Structure 1
Amino acid sequence: MNGAHALIRSLVTSGVDVCFANPGTSEMHFVAALDGVPEMRAVLVLFEGVATGAADGYARMAERPAATLLHLGPGLGNGVANLHNARRAGSPVVNVIGDHATYHAKYDAPLQSDIGAIAGAVSGWVRHSALTSEVGADAAAAVAAAREGQVATLVLPADVSWEPDGGVVADPVPAAPRAAADPDAVGAAAAALRSGEPCILLVGGDATSADGLAAADRIAAATGATVLAETFPTRLERGAGVAPVERVAYQVDIAVRQLAGAQHVVLVGARSPVGFFAYPGKPSDLVPPGAHVHTVAAREGAAAALDELADLVAPGTTARVAALARPELPTGALTVASAAAVVGALLPEGAIVVDEAVTSGFGLPGDTAGAPRHDWLTLTGGAIGWGLPAATGAAVACPDRPVWALQADGSAMYTISALWTHAREGLDVTTVLYNNNAYAILRGELQQVGAAGFVQHDGKRAKALLDLGGPDLDFVSIARGMGVPGVRVTTAEEMADALRRASAEPGPHLVEVMVPPLVA
């Protein structure tokens, strides 16, 4: 048994049976070994950023790791943006990175690079396999490390992979016990919540599950605390039958108003709130001045900590849940608001929503709050080009559930080749492509950072960097060219008809939704 075969067999033994791959020469023995391990599903993608984003989406929904197979340092580099998002999400991902043969490295061949340094920027665990006999154990260790909620990267030199003898399949490494919440931290938070002083309960991690939100709502009902979720939760369960929660706004001014007046901020699975960027004259730390911050639990185990906290401060209290309530279908020319209402009116039960709608998504949270129960995945790390890949992984993880990718036009172009994988794998992904012909969010940021006042003359050169015209993008043609049926819609009626058809037909679809930009 060679090293590659031992590696794949060890991954499968440890529970990793999906690999999103974009291989090259150094990974050919891994590719060849796949036929000997039929339990491993290998999914070809056309760009490494699709592989890493798909592994993130898969992990969020399957609640276990997927693997990626990437080619040397440049291949890993192409995937770093979505590994950054996975790291911020706490997603378990196992990267297998092929490397030059150990004896070849000294020649500084054109693709030679410091893979460990690249991996270190986004990985919590990095190992370089040195011996064929150790590859299986290294794979099992990588899976165990990933299961702790991090990216684990295993570098596999070509000769270690191809050595014909010495590969050993390793048993799974037992999972590390999950740390319980510190009783002193729980007690301090309970005292703050009982104090009668204004409190914010900020939840994240697995506390945005239905169970976690129920516990948070019990606490709010009993104490008067305000419950907020972090701006971009990893996976938010929501809709009818689930306790509703408002998210901390991306815009600093709105977030400051949401948090204003709090004397205590209780963090359960969430990081302390900060601005995404520095803005002149606006705070970076969004905790109100003088407020006390109480950290109760990390991302994993946050829901359990909330249950414990609720039993202390809200015994016998019942959570309030959202009722089934959909907006009426609008009519007429599409706007950002009417497009959101169409989604809210038609979102299927059990849907997985992958949200990278950016400014075109304004209105979606409110219009889908009473839709049938669903999951909502968000852009945790802010690195765009995540949505279509994450939808790929979510669809592979949950083939019995519809996936709706709510996708902005500019960020779609980063990883548009994911559509080809949707078609090749026959994935049930409906891409709602908001085409406003602009980087509208950057138009807003130009104002927010005060740079608009420095634009000189007629501003044409600055404006040219923030629009997507000349030539206009035709997403229907792009989708059809990659095997995905597509249709362009300009009215609410057309959008509703297109989404109904997509829901009724198996396989992927793209609906190009023509909307005016929210920021002119």
Structure 2
Amino acid sequence: MNGAQSLIRTLVDSGVDVCFANPGTSEMHFVAALDTVPEMRGVLALFEGVVTGAADGYGRMADKPAATLLHLGPGMVNGLANLHNARRARTPIVNVIGDHALTHKGFDAPLESDIDGLNAWTNGWSRTSGDPASVGKDAAEAVAAARGGRIANLVLPADVSWGEGGEAAAEVLPPAPATVADDRISEVADALGENTVLLLGSGVTRERGLRAASRIAAATGTKLFAETFPARIERGAGLPAVDRLGYLAEQVQWQLTGVRNLVLVGAKAPVSFFAYPGKPSELTPDGCQVHVLAEVGDDVLDAMERLAEAVAADTEPVLKEASRPELPTGDLTPQNWADVIGALLPDGAIISDESNTSGILVPTATAGAPRHDVLTLTGGAIGQGLPVAVGAAIACPDRPVVCLQSDGSAMYTMSALWTMARENLNVTTVLLNNRAYAILRMELARVGVEGAGPKAKSLLDLSTPDMDFVAIAQGMGVPATRARTAEELAEQFQRALAEPGPHLIDALVPPLL
């Protein structure tokens, strides 16, 4: 077999059976090899930012890597923003990056670039396969690295891809997570109490971790928060309810008022998203001692459950009771549209949330809805919502996916709708259309700018001309409607959920600011 065939066979044998792709000439032998390994599903996207974002959504929901296929350095560049989000989410991804043939590298062809430098930017695992015989082994080690919560970048030169002599390699298992020492458990146990916050991050925002955290809080009076943007958090009736830290520094400072001990579990101490004149970057209160129960890479679930047994052996978790907001009426507002979602969210839904300023009240509106998962904008690089919804729908075809998407961010990766249509994915997109970069209007004021003039305001305005998202979606094969009132949104949302395949609702809401 050639190098490409051995690569795909090794990926499949290692449990990686989905590849999101936007290929070019240097990847044609990989494309041809897909027909020799029928277990591998190839999913075409029209832009590499959709490719990498979909791999992120898939990995978060499948708990295993997807592969991507990227065309040389420029293709990698196009995918980097959503790889940044995936890196922050610790999503397992195996990037296969095509490169010029080794014999062609020295000619400085137009698409030649520093792929190694781009790979280093992801802070992950990287390797270039030097001959067909090494490709299988390299692929197996890439999958093992990705399963450890890293982005793995495997560069495949074209002549290595087409060259004969490739061999599939056996699966390589990643190292087991480190066990947290008993003395660290004891140290944290001594710090628990009413003036302590347990901050939940990577690996503990799903049912097992949430139940352990809730037991600890109920027994000791410790407060619980999740990170502002968790990669995946399970919510809804029958689960412990945990608030997330706010986006604004002032919100976090208020939430941590009076806290004397901050315990980190797979999380980092909170910092402001940006620097602001005269305001601190570190948000841990003065005099507050920071304790680390478990770091990313540790066995965080084991540490949480051992801590719960130490301080709350006879305590049950506090579970959220089922509740729904009443269906609102009247024109859509930044407040009432969220109540529509909370009132109608189906059981087992996956929410890909990039609603930004329009979605501030979504967590409250959905807190008592049927159990669901929420995937958030982990790294802050916008354009994640639609691609992540694609990947989540492919990972979980039996679950409804609801994409809550702001209008400005949507335009970064709008072509994800085409992939939804092509793959007939059950994704209902509610596009919050306020015709503005509303979050930047807020930030303009927060950095101290007063009396912004017409040129500044025009750069934050999306209404000249208005974008017709119904026409855009329909042009990509996705049925679409427009809602101006809460009644229209409710009717269209219910209808979209009841019908198979993708749908988009252009929800006209005024900007929050």
TM-score range relative to shorter protein: over 0.9
Q: Cα offset for 1:185? A: 1.9
Where does structure 2 lack aligned partners over 5 or more consecutive residues? none
TM-score normalised by structure 2 residue count? 0.99
Q: Cα offset for 1:161? A: 0.3
Q: Cα offset for 1:187? A: 1.4
Pick closer, same or farther for the CA change 1:481–1:432 going to 2, 3 Å: same
- Matches of 1:355 and 1:510, distance apart in 2: 15
Verify the 8 A CA contact 1:57 1:390 in the aligned structure 2.
yes
Q: Cα offset for 1:296? A: 1.1
1:407 aligns with 2:405: yes
Residue in 1 aligned with 2:60?
60
- Matches of 1:385 and 1:197, distance apart in 2: 39
List aligned pairs for 1:447-462, cutoff 5 A: 447-452=445-450, 455=452, 459-462=453-456
Q: Counterpart amino acid of 1:398?
A: C
Residue in 2 aligned with 1:357?
355
Verify the 8 A CA contact 2:194 2:220 in the aligned structure 1.
no
Residue in 2 aligned with 1:474?
468
Residue from 336, 339, 342 that aligns with 2:337:
339
- Could you tell me the percent identity over the aligned residues? 62
Deviation string 1:182-213 (CA, Å, 9 cap, x unpaired) is 322211111111xx561010001111001111
- Matches of 1:304 and 1:401, distance apart in 2: 28
Verify the 8 A CA contact 1:350 1:372 in the aligned structure 2.
yes
Residue from 408, 428, 431 that aligns with 2:429:
431
- Matches of 1:20 and 1:13, distance apart in 2: 18
Residue in 1 aligned with 2:43?
43
Deviation string 1:262-320 (CA, Å, 9 cap, x unpaired) is 11000011111111011112221111111110111123532221111111111110000
Residue in 2 aligned with 1:19?
19
- Matches of 1:104 and 1:184, distance apart in 2: 57
Q: Cα offset for 1:175? A: 2.4
TM-score normalised by structure 1 residue count? 0.98
Deviation string 1:199-257 (CA, Å, 9 cap, x unpaired) is 01000111100111111111111111110000000100000000000000001111100
List aligned pairs for 1:112-511, cutoff 5 A: 112-163=112-163, 165-193=164-192, 196=193, 198-299=195-296, 301-452=299-450, 455=452, 459-511=453-505
SS in 1 for 2:450: helix
1:4 aligns with 2:4: yes
Q: Cα offset for 1:347? A: 0.4
Verify the 8 A CA contact 1:204 1:302 in the aligned structure 2.
no
Verify the 8 A CA contact 1:209 1:303 in the aligned structure 2.
no
**Aligned-residue CA RMSD in angstroms?**
0.8
Where does structure 1 lack aligned partners over 5 or more consecutive residues? none
- Matches of 2:295 and 2:425, distance apart in 1: 34
SS in 2 for 1:400: coil
- Matches of 2:250 and 2:182, distance apart in 1: 35
Residue in 2 aligned with 1:31?
31
Deviation string 1:472-509 (CA, Å, 9 cap, x unpaired) is 01100000000000000000000000001001100000
- Matches of 2:57 and 2:44, distance apart in 1: 16
SS in 1 for 2:204: helix
Q: Counterpart amino acid of 1:424?
A: R
Deviation string 1:87-134 (CA, Å, 9 cap, x unpaired) is 000000000000000010100000000101011101410001001100
SS in 2 for 1:69: strand
Verify the 8 A CA contact 1:197 1:263 in the aligned structure 2.
no
Q: Cα offset for 1:55? A: 0.3
Deviation string 1:385-411 (CA, Å, 9 cap, x unpaired) is 000000000000000000000000000
Residue in 2 aligned with 1:84?
84
SS in 2 for 1:160: helix
- Matches of 1:157 and 1:182, distance apart in 2: 44
Verify the 8 A CA contact 1:182 1:296 in the aligned structure 2.
no
Verify the 8 A CA contact 2:348 2:372 in the aligned structure 1.
yes
Deviation string 1:55-113 (CA, Å, 9 cap, x unpaired) is 00000000000000000000000000000000000000000000000010100000000
- Matches of 1:174 and 1:212, distance apart in 2: 24
SS in 1 for 2:39: coil
1:72 aligns with 2:79: no
SS in 1 for 2:412: coil
- Matches of 1:109 and 1:328, distance apart in 2: 62
Stretches of 4+ moved more than 3 A in 1?
none
- Matches of 2:185 and 2:28, distance apart in 1: 52
Verify the 8 A CA contact 1:197 1:264 in the aligned structure 2.
no
Verify the 8 A CA contact 2:194 2:223 in the aligned structure 1.
no
Aligned residues: 512
Verify the 8 A CA contact 2:50 2:416 in the aligned structure 1.
yes
